[in-house]
Amino acid sequence: MDKRDYKNMWVYIEQNEKQIEPVSLELCCEARKLCDVTGDRLLAVVLGACPETELDKVKDCGVDGFIHVEGTGYEYYNTQAYANAFTVLSEKYRPSAIFVGGTVNGRDFAPRFAVRLNTGCTSDAMELVYDEKTGDIEFIEPAVGGKIMAVITLPVLRPQIGTIRPGTFRYEPTGGRENIEHIYERIDFPLEEIDTRILAFTPGEGDSELDISDAEVIVCVGNGLKDEASLGRYRELAKLLGGKIGCTRPLFDRGILPYKLQIGQSGVMVKPKLFIAFGVSGAVNHVAGVDAEVFVAVNKRADAQIFNYCDYGIVGDMDQVCDAMIAEIKRMRS
Amino acid sequence: MEKYGKLSPELMEELRAIVGKERFFTGEDIDPNYSHDEMPIYGSHMPEAVCEVESTREVSEILKLCNEHRIPVTPRGAGTGLVGGAVPLLGGVVISTVRMNKILDYDMKNLCVRTQVGVLLQDLAADAAEHGLFYPPDPGEKTATVGGNVATNAGGMRAVKYGVTRDYVLAMTVVLPTGEILELGKAVCKSSSGYSLLQLMCGSEGTLGIITELTLKLIPAPPHDVSLLMPFENLADAIASVPDIKLAKLDPQSIEFMDADIVRSSAAFTGNSIFPQKLQGREVGGCILVTLVGNSEDELYEKMDRLNDVAEKAGAIDLLVVDTPSLKKTVWSARSSFLTAIEADTKLVDELDVVVPVDKIAEFLVYTRQVGEEQGLYVRNFGHAGDGNLHIYCCSNTMTEEEFIPRVKVVMGKCYSECARFGGQVSGEHAIGHAKKEYLRESVGDTAFRLMSQIKRVFDPNMILNPGKVCTYTEEGKGED
Amino acid sequence: MLKILVCVKQVPDIDLVKMDPETGNLVRDGVPSMINPLDMNALEAALRLKEDMGGEITAITMGPPAAEAVLRECLALGADRAVLVTGREFGGADTLSTSYVIAKAALQLGSYDLIFCGKETVDGATGQMGSQLAERFGTSQVTSMSLIKSLDMERGSIVVEREVEKGVETIEARIPCLFTVEKTNYQPRLPNYRGKKAARTAKIITMGPGDIEGLDEKLIGVPGSGTIVPRIYPPVLPEAGQIIDEGSAAASAVKLCAILAAEGRI
């Protein structure tokens, strides 16, 4: 294999109920910047039918073209047809890189077709950098619980495949291009060969407290939390501020709060107006999931890394600070 | 009844001058938590001033001033007590030791550590471990201060092998109510040198003096340990196995028991269902959790073999092994969350911390459940089966406080009488505070109670230090004789 | 008889891994190893199936010789046999080459109806191994599986639940099938003493590069890996924010509230 034979970058356009997942658009925007550096063309890969209005959003992100795949097997997500389509397309067109949104389904099939193509697959990069010398993309991601940043490359094999979590990159469309190319491919996957069948879908419990991705105020508790009993005051503060409570990975691991409240790269990405972190150490994986207008940190350790990410910080006992904030806010409002 | 002075603005200024304005609080600036401990059912009382002290000298100056003006002073650590011991019944000044949180130095040759009293138990334990040493006392509340542990002579899970907190206190610096600074004990392991004022201070609940520094004994950490869970179909069988466990020459580090109800509510509360509720198709009614230590893995396996024989004979459903660091963390954090789980899903709760002879545990638990239910309360319990120290919680989610208090008083009265009949103690490790005074008096008898009161007066002639606790009264008409 | 394969990994307790502030390297000395926590959920799912339907559970891992400790944990809990794939030649492998080796070794010892993996590891955290093993084994796959609802061996089908972003899918899959398991419904059990004692001296099948038939040396270890890690570096921290210190926690909190109120944030 000569990696120089592989050109252009692809973004998989993931659809859910005829709507394009935001992560696909985020990836188009980021890959656009990368292609501007490398001179590659940026192509969006769409499996099955997709409404024109949705495709317009993709065009806005500055793609140079589309690969539209028609055929059987794309009505609902299944590992086999999707992995097959990318295998067939990659063998035919030899892209340099393929970016797939790190959704549950994206992470399901991307590693699988990577193996079929005998190439490497990275996951959860937070930054993509082109190394001119080697011609490789550097996928930069936090490792070992966020204690270090690791640079990952594919020095020999192509395509370079990466799944990237929703919310990692910004959706900042730069506007459509002239002369968008449309490639149409027919790849049928025999329906009777699909080994999995969705019998039913139950939407997640409608508990709005568990949906924090759009919350304007988030009170986030970290591993500094003493025990479950101390949690009440943070709920109260969140309620007072019209916000919701969230947590870091250790609190989910400790079984104190559910996964849906775990903020960070491997949990929920949030973009609140006000974010208050209590007893949070500031691991990269966690803060990568926070895009706040005002970031407040409270931690008893003055050397906690979280203070590097905050606008305002208090070094002190998290419970005491929380109690005092509750009292003060009540006083200010009365 | 003592006459106390008023905390005038001038005195406030003098106190402020001693600790500095950053660590001195009055009026609305006082954190409301200073008015209670973890059992608000025994009443809340706000202090008039709080001094967050940082040195022995500050404590001494505050006490001198307060003694001169007869101002009540209540010492307080982390406020995690369960008998109102750190609650300022008469207002006055609270001296908080939370900022005296420095571990001072280790003596690696004589195996001891010198520390300020505001260091949290969990921090001391972790720091000692980093030095390759082991602080054996292990009370359930890891965020208590070591000063509070000494003042209550806290026991904990490992008492069955290693003894209680007082067994690890070699020396201390204590400030008497008059402001005099006294060094008690020496950093050596034996003493036959007069009355042990050191031991008198341990468990004195801040009524005789304020401890500011401690020299604590450490031991080399046991190289290997394993915890084992023995689930039984009913709690009585579980507890009946304890004497056999002790006789099997296993020298266990702890022998804990838990009933099915507490396991269920803790699992529901924490989402951590590590303790089985059903096993091999049989309902689990109670569990024994044993920790064994040894110098090698082989030694542990030998001990586990013997424990397995005991478990089989006693009718345990199985013998489950908790040996990896992550399992130990999960199991022991579940065990430590019992009280928190009760506090979290109970509106009203009162508790007993009695000690009964090990062979009477099961009978006593049946009795408390019965009298609790007679009064419409539900009862949760767990505790230290190895030494008979039981934690029994009488709870209600439906009553008002006015309905609850008289009913729970009836339950407490009956249970403490029954405990006395069995030859038990009022408190194993939570101490007396002001909540359990009457039961103490009944239990030790008038003579002993009078001696305690007289000792108190020798140390504290103006009765300013932690008034109304252990053996003194703040109410009108209740004297010490 | 139902044949189940459970894939596990030994990982360091990453909470205890520290970074040397001078060199930027990870300090792993003295950090205890453990079984990857999510692999325990995979094993639990397998054990419950075996309890209901009978069958044989094989546990497999690739790693240094010390990784046999995690296999003994699996045996203690009820796995019937354990396979350690080990050899210096396998070192430095990414998921591409690891999945190749594990599948080769496991298939040499038999075939499997169901394969269970943890959802991801705490150290690598790529979450790729499940899908890549399914490709190597040529089975169907259901990732993020949270509950097995029914298994019909005659029809060769299994019905499971799968957790996705917006809810739960009920999926019927053809056997053989590979699952990555969510922890939702599969809290691992505690091992019992009998199992523990037997596992202590149980035989572990050890396979080195020479024991695996038809192994292509170009596809193992570093040469067989698609990805490399050319360098690591400590996270670059932004400038510290403004620290509010009014002497006490309570006073600082009051000041903070004033600032936030002035900015119209609360």
Average pLDDT over residues A76-82: 97
- The per-residue pLDDT of chain A, averaged, comes to 93
Q: What is the CATH number of the domain that holds A79?
A: 3.40.50.620
- Residue C24 is predicted with a pLDDT of 64
Is C190 close to B25, i.e. CB distance below 8 A?
Answer: no
Q: Where are the domains of chain C?
A: 3-219, 236-266
Task: Assess whether pLDDT exceeds 90 at residue C247.
Answer: no
- Residue A206 is predicted with a pLDDT of 60
- Kindly state whether residues A163 and A33 are assigned to the same domain: yes
Residue A260 DSSP symbol: G
CA distances from C42 to B93, C54, C185, C228 (A): 57, 17, 11, 28
Whether B321 has its CB under 8 Å from any CB of chain C: the answer is yes
**Per the omega criterion (within 30 degrees of 0), is the bond before C176 cis?**
yes
Which of B25, B52, B304 lies nearest to residue C193, judging by beta carbons? B304
The angle formed by the CA atoms of residues B22, B26 and B30, to the nearest 5 degrees, is 85
In sign, the C-alpha dihedral spanning B332, B336, B342, B343 is: negative
- Kindly state whether residues B313 and B398 are assigned to the same domain: no
Complete edge-to-edge strand list for the sheet that includes strand B49-52: B24-26, B49-52, B93-96, B73-76
* Ramachandran angles phi, psi of B309, nearest 5°: -60, -45
- Residue A90 is predicted with a pLDDT of 98
Which of A80, A312, A324 lies nearest to residue C249, judging by beta carbons? A324
Whether A226 has its CB under 8 Å from any CB of chain B: the answer is yes
- Residue A267 is predicted with a pLDDT of 83
Q: What are A233-287's pLDDT values in tens digits?
A: 999 999 999 999 999 988 887 778 888 899 988 788 898 999 999 999 988 888 9
Is C239 close to A308, i.e. CB distance below 8 A?
Answer: yes
Q: CA of A4 to nearest chain C CA: how many angstroms apart?
A: 16
The angle formed by the CA atoms of residues B154, B157 and B160, to the nearest 5 degrees, is 95
- Kindly state whether residues B108 and B94 are assigned to the same domain: no
Q: What are C45-82's pLDDT values in tens digits?
A: 999 999 999 999 999 999 999 999 999 999 999 999 99
What torsion do the CA atoms of B426, B431, B432, B434 make, to the nearest 10 degrees?
Answer: -150
Name every chain A residue with its beta carbon within 8 A of the beta carbon of C177.
195
Pairwise CA distance, residues C10 & B195, whole Å? 57
- Residue B481 is predicted with a pLDDT of 39
- Residue B33 is predicted with a pLDDT of 86
Q: What are B52-61's pLDDT values in tens digits?
A: 999 999 999 9
CA distances from B331 to A324, B51, B238 (A): 34, 39, 18
Single out the residue in B78, B98, B118 at which a domain terminates.
B98
Pairwise CA distance, residues A217 & A273, whole Å? 6
Q: Of the candidates C77, C80, C117, C62, which has an alpha carbon nearest to the alpha carbon of residue C3? A: C80
**Per the omega criterion (within 30 degrees of 0), is the bond before C12 cis?**
no
Task: Assess whether pLDDT exceeds 90 at residue C195.
Answer: yes
SS3 assignment, position A93 = helix
Token pair for A117: 């193509």
* Ramachandran angles phi, psi of B73, nearest 5°: -130, 130
Is B31 close to A320, i.e. CB distance below 8 A?
Answer: yes
At C20, the pLDDT band (50, 70, 90 cuts) reads confident
Domain count, chain B: 4
Domain count, chain A: 2
Token pair for C33: 């190893």
- Kindly state whether residues A19 and A118 are assigned to the same domain: yes
- Kindly state whether residues A41 and A165 are assigned to the same domain: yes
Complete edge-to-edge strand list for the sheet that includes strand C242-243: A244-247, A217-221, A274-278, A294-299, A312-315, C242-243
Architecture of the domain made up of C3-219: 3-Layer(aba) Sandwich (3.40)
Token pair for C190: 């505690």
- Kindly state whether residues B357 and B331 are assigned to the same domain: no
B275 against A1, higher pLDDT? B275
Residue A292 DSSP symbol: -
Pairwise CA distance, residues C38 & C41, whole Å? 5
Residues 6 or more apart in contact with residue B194 via CB below 8 angstroms: none
B387 lies in some domain:
yes
In what helix (H) or strand (E) does residue A326 lie, and over which residues does it extend? helix A318-333
B25 lies in some domain:
yes
- Kindly state whether residues A120 and A219 are assigned to the same domain: no
Whether A141 has its CB under 8 Å from any CB of chain C: the answer is no
What is the DSSP annotation of chain C? --EEEEE--EEE-GGG-EE-TTT--EE-TTPPEEE-HHHHHHHHHHHHHHHHH--EEEEEEES-GGGHHHHHHHHHHT-SEEEEE--GGGTT--HHHHHHHHHHHHHHT---SEEEEES--SSS----HHHHHHHHHT-EEEEEEEEEEEEETTTTEEEEEEEETTEEEEEEEESSEEEEE-STT-PPPPPBHHHHHHHHH---EEE-GGGSTT--GGGSTTTT-S-EEEEEEPPPPPPP-EEP-SSSHHHHHHHHHHHHHHTT--
Q: Are strands C157-164 and C167-174 parallel, antiparallel or unpaired?
A: antiparallel
A145 lies in some domain:
yes
Instruction: For chain B, list residues with pLDDT below 50.
Output: 479-481
Q: What are A288-304's pLDDT values in tens digits?
A: 889 999 999 999 988 88
A67 lies in some domain:
yes
Q: What are C196-218's pLDDT values in tens digits?
A: 999 999 999 999 999 999 999 99
- Kindly state whether residues A294 and A175 are assigned to the same domain: no
Q: CA of B319 to nearest chain C CA: how many angstroms apart?
A: 5
- Kindly state whether residues A41 and A178 are assigned to the same domain: yes
Q: Between chain B and chain C, how many beta carbons pairs sit less than 8 Å apart?
A: 54
Average pLDDT over residues A33-51: 97
Residues 6 or more apart in contact with residue B81 via CB below 8 angstroms: B37, B38, B39, B144, B148, B152, B430, B431, B433
Name every chain C residue with its beta carbon within 8 A of the beta carbon of A204.
166-168
Q: What is the CATH number of the domain that holds A293?
A: 3.40.50.1220
A203 lies in some domain:
no
- On whether the CB atoms of residues A57 and A25 are closer than 8 A, the answer is yes
* Ramachandran angles phi, psi of A259, nearest 5°: -55, -35
Single out the residue in A165, A193, A221 at which a domain terminates.
A193
- Kindly state whether residues B114 and B93 are assigned to the same domain: no
Pairwise CA distance, residues C130 & A123, whole Å? 14
B40 lies in some domain:
yes
Residue of A21, A199, A241 to mutate, testing the C interface (most C Cβ within 10 Å of its Cβ): A199
In sign, the C-alpha dihedral spanning C141, C146, C150, C153 is: positive
Burial of A160 (0-12, 13-18, 19+ CB in 10 A): buried
Residues of chain A with pLDDT > 70, as a percent, come to 99
Is B333 close to A226, i.e. CB distance below 8 A?
Answer: no
Q: Residue for token digits 């011991």? A: B85
Give the chain C residue whose CA is nearest to the CA of B320: C192
Is A150 close to C232, i.e. CB distance below 8 A?
Answer: yes
Is B340 close to A254, i.e. CB distance below 8 A?
Answer: no
- Residue A269 is predicted with a pLDDT of 87
At C28, the pLDDT band (50, 70, 90 cuts) reads confident
Give the chain A residue whose CA is nearest to the CA of C12: A144
- On whether the CB atoms of residues C163 and A198 are closer than 8 A, the answer is no
Whether A87 has its CB under 8 Å from any CB of chain C: the answer is no
Is A201 close to C169, i.e. CB distance below 8 A?
Answer: yes
Pairwise CA distance, residues B168 & B189, whole Å? 9
Is C173 close to A241, i.e. CB distance below 8 A?
Answer: no
B451 lies in some domain:
no
Rg (CA), chain B: 23
Name every chain B residue with its beta carbon within 8 A of the beta carbon of A323.
31-33
HSE toward the beta carbon, residue A266, CA cutoff 13 A:
24
Residue of C43, C48, C193 to mutate, testing the B interface (most B Cβ within 10 Å of its Cβ): C193
- Kindly state whether residues A128 and A53 are assigned to the same domain: yes
- Kindly state whether residues A231 and A281 are assigned to the same domain: yes
Single out the residue in A159, A193, A227 at which a domain terminates.
A193
Task: Assess whether pLDDT exceeds 90 at residue C116.
Answer: yes
- Residue B265 is predicted with a pLDDT of 82
- Residue B476 is predicted with a pLDDT of 57
Residues 6 or more apart in contact with residue A132 via CB below 8 angstroms: none
Pairwise CA distance, residues A45 & A82, whole Å? 11
A83 lies in some domain:
yes
Domain span at residue A147 reads: 3-193
- Kindly state whether residues A186 and A239 are assigned to the same domain: no
Task: Assess whether pLDDT exceeds 70 at residue C181.
Answer: yes
Is C193 close to B320, i.e. CB distance below 8 A?
Answer: yes
Report which residue type is found at A260. K
Pairwise CA distance, residues A37 & A9, whole Å? 12
Whether B49 has its CB under 8 Å from any CB of chain C: the answer is no
Complete edge-to-edge strand list for the sheet that includes strand C205-207: A196-203, C167-174, C157-164, C140-152, C177-181, C114-118, C3-7, C56-62, C81-85, C205-207
Q: What is the CATH number of the domain that holds B428?
A: 3.30.70.2740
C neighbours by CB contacts (3+ pairs under 8 Å): A, B
Pairwise CA distance, residues B75 & A112, whole Å? 64
The angle formed by the CA atoms of residues C52, C58 and C64, to the nearest 5 degrees, is 145
Whether B333 has its CB under 8 Å from any CB of chain A: the answer is yes
B140 lies in some domain:
yes
* Ramachandran angles phi, psi of C22, nearest 5°: -75, -50
Name every chain B residue with its beta carbon within 8 A of the beta carbon of C192.
318-321
Domain span at residue B416 reads: 346-439
Which of B31, B301, B320 lies nearest to residue C191, judging by beta carbons? B320
Whether A144 has its CB under 8 Å from any CB of chain B: the answer is no
- Kindly state whether residues A229 and A188 are assigned to the same domain: no
Q: What are A164-213's pLDDT values in tens digits?
A: 999 899 999 999 999 999 999 999 999 999 999 999 999 876 667 778 88
